[in-house]
Structure 1
Amino acid sequence: MKLIISILSIGCFFSVSAQEVKEKIAEKKYEGYSYIDAIAIYEKVAEKGHVSVELFQKLGDSYYFNGMLDKSKVWYDKLFQMKNQTFDPEYYFRYSQSLKAVKAYKEADKMMEKFYALTNDYRGELYVKNKLYLVDINNSLDKFTITDAGINSEFSDYGGYFKDTKMYFVSNRIPQKNNKKIDKWTNQNFLNIYRAEFSDSAKAVYIDEIVDEFNTKYHESSPVFTKDGKTMYFTRNNYNNGKVVMDKDKVIKLKLFKASLENGKWGKITELPFNNNEYNFAHPALSPDEKTLYFASDMPGGYGNSDLYKVIINDDGSYGKPENLGDKINTKARETFPFIASDATLYFSSDGLIGMGGLDIFKSVPDENGNYSSFHNIGAPINSERDDFGFVESPFKNIFFVSSNRDGGKGYDDIYKVKVNPEPKKGIIINKVIDEISKEPIADSKITLLDANQNKIAETVTDAQGNFSFNDVRTDREFYILVANDSYLAKEFRVKGIEQNNQVFEVAPKVIKTKPGDDLVKLLNITIYFDLDKYFIRPDAEVELAKIIEILKMYPNLKIDIRSHTDSRQSEAYNLRLSTFRANSTRDYLIKKGIAKERLTCKGYGESQLLNNCTDEVPCTREQHQLNRRSEFIIIQ
């Protein structure tokens, strides 16, 4: 897959000591782009205990450029663990991408910060300006459902372009009809173009290996058709009319070809005139009016390893001069797999723009001049921590397809079906904030709406009546509402959609006005209960009493009267005695915690001051009786 996806420019070769014969052999394979063979040799060298910057770089790179970022991380880990070493800053970027592949995003972000500090590179700048990028990317999780497309094999399957209800895709599965050579790059079969028929419900019906002239013994990929179905552009190794052409380093590059449909067969296969034997040209895409061809290339004059270009298709079938899409889209890394949707939106993959890891898919809407000058990550679950690419429309409503080597796939690369989920129902949240002591509404409070992961969604303030509202809130989701006011303690409330509308949220003031006769229990909104027939201090009561103790310590002139009560069960005499024990127990507890006994008085009131009608003649629940088993802390000075 990566030979087609990743237009590579390997510019760093290394020297080795004479005794490292195996490492020399590996280097030859590395320079010749046979990365899989090189990995085995390099690893044997590393297993024998050899340590060097070059060795770890090459091992990491061998996996990195094959899209195996979780494995490249293993060797970049070792590289960055080496002390007092310097290396190309690009390795900070590669290490960051590899860390993302295992979802180590905090460590990845640190590497991006170091990368930016060393280079001032656009890729690092994007991160610095968008440190909350994961929040934005994950905001689309509910918008799509992604499933296996039903056409994958244990090998590499990717790409795709629809002509009617047939998808033309790429695979290196073992061919039944075309006998192909083994690719040194991957030690697997070369790529063929296959065709899959889909039903009206976007379900794969059958798969057919195409035996047309455009499938050769080398790589073919990325077909795209004109609307009339008579012209096809596609990618192929530099092989035509039975001849292979190599560059000056004996590498077979990629080129763009054009084929015409004649009598049901594809013929007149010609390479496009702007191809060059020394560089790669791949992944064609047509504009809706079919007057512009987009593609990826590593030709000179670009910004990175591969850039996106466009070229005008003239009425007479000739071509203009390729134009780079510019530094608003292209980076020093890889931009590849362009696709132009029916509404002229450009979709493409990049590992240079800020994303989840590996290649992410981005979209760019043309400006008023038809240029692509901005971009947006299309988010999860379409994008993952691995390589995601080959985004295409389908003829089926709200169905798209994408390719990825994410975990859980059937083969090395797989094609996935993306369904756009129906828009969820939304409503309005309307609630109120009041002072929990005075019960008066609180105006000008800052209200923040947070999602279940504590990410901010929106903000507002309460009006003069303490009311606030949020529009377009998902009715099926849980949210948090954070209330903040300079005069009140911040408090968070959990709500579910609009089901808990018209709630009243009570918040405690930071400064409490008091006077003799006030009950600290009510002022602090605390509860101190006793168990049935007991007078010991319960653990939950200790927490509440700690608040009373702190107030008494803060205000040394404050004196209080402790008043304890019981429920109506048992006799009046028994309850009076029990409540006295409770009052004394509470007073003793406060004295033990350092409060002077002269500041405390106490008395038991038995069942004489019930808070409800739970007398002996009235049946009540345990909870109703519990309300009466309480203590009060009345300010007397």
Structure 2
Amino acid sequence: MKKYIYTLASLLLVSGIALAQKGNLKRANKLFEMRAYTQAAETYETKARTQEVLQNLADSYYYNTSLEKAIETYRELFVKYGDSIDIEYHFRFAQALKGVKDYKEADKHLSKYYNKPVNTLEFIEANKKITPHNFELKQIENEGSRNDFGLSFYRDNKVVFASARNTENPSYSWNELPYLDLYTATLTNSNTLINVQPFSEAINTSSHESNAVFTKDGKTMYFNRTNSTRKKTDKERIAHIKIYKAELINGEWTNVTALPFTSNSYSTEHPALSNDEKTLYFASDMPGSYGSFDIYKVAINEDGTYGEPENLGKTINTKHREQFPFISELNVLYFSSIGHQGYGGLDVFRSKMVNGDFDKPVNLGSTINSNLDDFAYVIREKDNMGYVSSNRTGYDRIFSFSRQENLLAKYQVEGVVKDKNSNKLLPGALVEIIDQSNNIIKDTIVGENGYYVFKLEPNKLYKIRGTRQAYIDQELEFLTSKYGKSHKIDINLESLTNAEERIRQNDKGELQVQLDKIYFNYNASEITSEAAKTLDVLVDLMKKYPSIEVEIAAHTDARGSEQYNLNLSKQRAALVLEYLVNQGIDENRLKSVGYGETRPLNKCVKEGICDDEEYDINRRCEFTILK
């Protein structure tokens, strides 16, 4: 895939630079500058093995994935001219070595390049316990071409992909294959592409088109197209790539225009839409990039205009290539990189969005990444299926995949829930795991043994929260180990009755807040100043324990009619609730109930049998903890 994804440059036919002139070193350098690597290599092979010739010859082999020849030539280069070679040749030599799985020699050059120890075999072993999924890949059968890649979801079972199958197209000087066009096809249940047809003539031109992405309604598409003219950039003359937009109107693709932030001086490529279609992600080597290609994002405004492109930063981007972004419906960023540690060539990585930023990328592992280029990853998360492209077979191929959780990668958190004071197990307690976005991602209610266990991702910050009725919530923060080890966290909950003298259990087993009695004047529902002072104690208690929910139960004495007393008690309970809300207590934590004269505390069950003091006992409010 290096022939396409390095920049998708060198797009003009260079057949005019005749092979008859391959003996001319100046002409060979021109071919190399124009990235006609196949023809350049043929010329360099005939020349004296100077440092310049060996450097360009090795690079020509490397960029065309002739790795064995590249390794042989790089090795000769380092033997002859090691002290004077630019440090970047160490990186490319290492990538060529990784391409044939010679990791030990590759690490020597990478260690020198990064000026720190690099151990790829150790990384591969550790990554088995880090990558979140295992993948099962199946090559998609597709007659008619050896070079297809970048399959996109289109509509129903229709897909769109890029292919070099059109032999009527001019040959691409990089690899002497036809220029890329976009194609549509039907993907069958047997993993075969049928009814392969060229995409609209309004989209396919005599240049390269690739990497299409579509809005959910299928009426807007974004895609790559390479400029038909070259731009002089430093020592190279490059045909840059632009992202284009097209609209489907009355069944025809039209209004094909380059996006306003594209340029003839740099490339923008590999468009990807966020789930809400308000953000476009792409790769670019525009000014301000960290190195080769970086991942960017740009806002798509409601009026169809675009914001300013934003680089995703050093967490995602390196000085080398980061390309082929894809944003899943869960806001997970997938992309390919040769700059982050991997197996060789481009590897696919994932990064989760946390509080608006993407976290440290994780290599998706050896079940999907190879020692060569793996790229153009797309997925439907909920179905655990998708597509990826790779040149592991020698040509670009599209693979479908399914995925399963990698149990080796899960960090196990386990423990029991106990009473803090008695150490008794607390069956029925709820245990929750909360991520950095404050979302509850896992929960369980413990059984008689009080035991819980969760499988989590390694190297992540989480909170664990234990709750149980009549107990104070406990919340703890912890960081999972990088290498998937388990950890024991016991949750010790303190009962409210132990923590607060005012909270007691009644003879029905209910938890009640014991306040000084709130008295209401006879035939009145106003809260007195003394009652307000008492209620402020409850306000403080509920602010101290923000998860507590309370029932306000108002009672009357038996004087007056039963219906009148019921209404009066409801008014009193509602008035208490209003007072608490005015003091800053969330109304959702409160419930008001009026019981009238139905629950007396003494024998005064009807009018005329008790004195005033005895009746006063039944004019009261009670506060029961519901949760």
TM-score range, shorter chain: 0.5 to 0.7
CA contact (8 A) 1:69 1:97 kept: no
Give yes or no for the alignment of 1:305 onto 2:305: no
For residue 218 of structure 2, the aligned residue among 201, 224, 229 is: 229
Shift of 1:62: 1.2
Distance 1:276 1:141, change over 3 A: closer
Return the alpha-carbon distance in structure 2 between the equivalents of residues 24 and 194 of structure 1. 39
Post-superposition Cα deviations, 1:93-133, rounded to whole Å, max 9, x if no partner, equal: 1111111111111111111111122xxxxxx68x47x8721
Shift of 1:154: 4.6
Equivalent residue for 1:30?
A: 32
CA contact (8 A) 2:22 2:28 kept: no
Equivalent position amino acid for 1:343 in 2? L
Shift of 1:228: 0.8
Secondary structure of the structure 2 residue equivalent to 1:37: helix
Equivalent position amino acid for 1:187 in 2? E
Return the alpha-carbon distance in structure 1 between the equivalents of residues 125 and 406 of structure 2. 20
CA contact (8 A) 1:142 1:421 kept: yes
Equivalent residue for 1:115?
A: 113
Equivalent position amino acid for 1:212 in 2? E
Equivalent residue for 1:266?
A: 253
Post-superposition Cα deviations, 1:460-502, rounded to whole Å, max 9, x if no partner, equal: xxxxxxxxxx999xxxxxxxxxxxxxxxxxxxxxxxxxxxxxx
Give yes or no for the alignment of 1:198 onto 2:187: yes
Equivalent position amino acid for 2:267 in 1? N
Give yes or no for the alignment of 1:418 onto 2:401: yes
Equivalent residue for 1:135?
A: 125
Return the alpha-carbon distance in structure 1 between the equivalents of residues 111 and 122 of structure 2. 14
Return the alpha-carbon distance in structure 2 between the equivalents of residues 3 and 103 of structure 1. 21
Equivalent residue for 1:582?
A: none
Equivalent residue for 2:347?
A: 360
Shift of 1:266: 0.7
Give yes or no for the alignment of 1:347 onto 2:334: yes
CA contact (8 A) 1:234 1:284 kept: yes
Equivalent residue for 1:166?
A: 158
Equivalent residue for 1:391?
A: 377
Return the alpha-carbon distance in structure 2 between the equivalents of residues 116 and 166 of structure 1. 45
For residue 60 of structure 2, the aligned residue among 55, 59, 62 is: 62
Equivalent residue for 1:6?
A: 6
CA contact (8 A) 1:4 1:282 kept: no
Equivalent residue for 2:389?
A: 403
Secondary structure of the structure 1 residue equivalent to 2:202: coil
Distance 1:396 1:41, change over 3 A: farther
Return the alpha-carbon distance in structure 1 between the equivalents of residues 143 and 69 of structure 2. 23
Aligned-residue CA RMSD (Å): 3.0
Matches within 5 A, 1:379-528: 379-394=365-380, 397-406=383-392, 409=393, 412-421=395-404
Secondary structure of the structure 2 residue equivalent to 1:98: helix
Give yes or no for the alignment of 1:44 onto 2:46: yes
Shift of 1:8: 7.9
Shift of 1:33: 1.8
Secondary structure of the structure 2 residue equivalent to 1:107: helix
Post-superposition Cα deviations, 1:476-534, rounded to whole Å, max 9, x if no partner, equal: xxxxxxxxxxxxxxxxxxxxxxxxxxxxxxxxxxxxxxxxxxxxxxxxxxxxxxxxxxx
Distance 1:351 1:152, change over 3 A: farther
Equivalent residue for 1:429?
A: none
Equivalent residue for 1:600?
A: none
Equivalent residue for 1:100?
A: 98
Aligned length: 398
For residue 188 of structure 1, the aligned residue among 177, 187, 202 is: 177
Distance 1:289 1:425, change over 3 A: closer
Return the alpha-carbon distance in structure 2 between the equivalents of residues 71 and 166 of structure 1. 40
Return the alpha-carbon distance in structure 1 between the equivalents of residues 280 and 192 of structure 2. 30
CA contact (8 A) 1:347 1:361 kept: yes
Equivalent residue for 1:507?
A: none
Secondary structure of the structure 1 residue equivalent to 2:59: helix
Equivalent residue for 1:547?
A: none
Secondary structure of the structure 2 residue equivalent to 1:28: helix
Post-superposition Cα deviations, 1:519-569, rounded to whole Å, max 9, x if no partner, equal: xxxxxxxxxxxxxxxxxxxxxxxxxxxxxxxxxxxxxxxxxxxxxxxxxxx
Return the alpha-carbon distance in structure 2 between the equivalents of residues 304 and 272 of structure 1. 23
Equivalent residue for 1:514?
A: none
Distance 1:26 1:144, change over 3 A: same
Distance 1:425 1:337, change over 3 A: closer
For residue 81 of structure 1, the aligned residue among 57, 79, 82 is: 79
CA contact (8 A) 2:241 2:267 kept: yes
CA contact (8 A) 2:23 2:43 kept: no
Equivalent residue for 2:138?
A: 147
Equivalent position amino acid for 1:206 in 2? N
Distance 1:316 1:73, change over 3 A: same
Secondary structure of the structure 1 residue equivalent to 2:222: strand
Shift of 1:202: 5.0
Structure 1: which 5+ runs fail to align?
11-18, 118-123, 239-243, 427-469, 473-637
Distance 1:196 1:138, change over 3 A: farther
Post-superposition Cα deviations, 1:56-82, rounded to whole Å, max 9, x if no partner, equal: 111111122334444322211211222
Secondary structure of the structure 2 residue equivalent to 1:74: helix
Give yes or no for the alignment of 1:246 onto 2:230: yes
Give yes or no for the alignment of 1:72 onto 2:70: yes
Give yes or no for the alignment of 1:375 onto 2:373: no
CA contact (8 A) 1:295 1:338 kept: yes
Return the alpha-carbon distance in structure 1 between the equivalents of residues 406 and 226 of structure 2. 44
Shift of 1:210: 2.0
CA contact (8 A) 2:9 2:238 kept: no
TM-score under structure 1 length normalisation: 0.58
Return the alpha-carbon distance in structure 1 between the equivalents of residues 297 and 280 of structure 2. 5
Percent of pairs with identical residues: 42
Secondary structure of the structure 1 residue equivalent to 2:93: helix
Shift of 1:203: 4.6
Secondary structure of the structure 2 residue equivalent to 1:132: helix
For residue 198 of structure 2, the aligned residue among 209, 216, 235 is: 209
CA contact (8 A) 1:67 1:387 kept: no
CA contact (8 A) 1:162 1:394 kept: no
Equivalent position amino acid for 1:227 in 2? K
Secondary structure of the structure 1 residue equivalent to 2:89: helix
